């Protein structure tokens, strides 16, 4: 008997002028409970984006989302639904994965320049469930396999994360807010 609950992911958070779509695998328990992306207090996503995109990491959630969108960054997940025990990607039952309708969503983003997968599971799931479904015009879009910002990936320090994630910046163009 299967005792893993079916989880349903969060709504997409991107504007029509999205240039980089950041894709996680499936939000963890803290994020699902809060209804917010990267809600676990030790997840390094928001502090990392705040440094790279020059906004206040402590701002209210809706302000942080607006700042991402202002800079051309969108958020979603590869997985729409799955079964998982706990929060770890390794606990996702592969045979339960239902992908989000990313090909259709991406086709409606005329300024999209790149996809950034937040972690290995997101990238593997992208390759398994989405890449082959893309229309020809999107198949040459760069897909960046970036290290996970999850606290479970503590082996990668903040400096290495920042260096790796800086790969999204050329796809965004100039960030018009000064540091500070």
Does residue 13 contact residue 31 with C-beta atoms inside 8 Å?
Answer: no
Q: Which domain holds residue 34?
A: 6-170
Instruction: Work out how many domains the chain is built from and give that number.
Output: 1
Mean pLDDT, to the nearest integer, of 59-81? 96
Examine residue 180 and state whether it is found in any structural domain, yes or no: no
What does the pLDDT look like over 93-105, one tens digit per residue?
787 888 999 999 9
The reply to whether 179 falls in a domain is no
CATH code assigned at 71? 3.40.470.10
Catalytic residues: 43
Contact 62, 7 (CB under 8 A): no
Q: 174 or 70: whose pLDDT is higher?
A: 70
Whole-structure pTM value? 0.92
Task: Classify residue 78: in a domain, yes or no.
Answer: yes
Mean pLDDT of the chain: 90
Q: What is the pLDDT of residue 1?
A: 43
Question: Is 178 among the domain residues?
Answer: no
């Amino acid at each position: 008997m299967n005792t893993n609950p079916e989880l349903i992911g969060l709504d997409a958070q991107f504007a029509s002028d999205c240039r980089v779509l950041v894709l996680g695998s499936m939000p963890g328990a803290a994020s699902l409970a809060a209804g917010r992306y990267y809600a676990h207090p030790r997840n390094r996503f928001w502090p990392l984006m705040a440094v790279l995109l020059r906004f206040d990491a402590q701002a209210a959630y809706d302000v942080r989302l607006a700042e991402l969108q202002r800079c051309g960054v969108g958020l979603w997940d590869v997985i729409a639904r799955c079964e998982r025990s706990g929060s770890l990607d390794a606990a996702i039952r592969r045979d339960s994965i239902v992908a989000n309708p990313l090909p259709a969503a991406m086709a409606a983003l005329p300024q999209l320049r790149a996809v950034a997968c937040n972690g290995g599971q997101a990238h593997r799931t992208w390759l398994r469930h989405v890449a082959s479904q893309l229309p020809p015009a999107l198949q040459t879009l760069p897909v960046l396999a970036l290290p996970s910002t999850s606290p479970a990936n503590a082996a990668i320090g903040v400096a290495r994360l920042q260096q790796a994630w800086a790969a999204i910046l050329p796809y965004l163009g100039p960030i018009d807010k000064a540091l500070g």
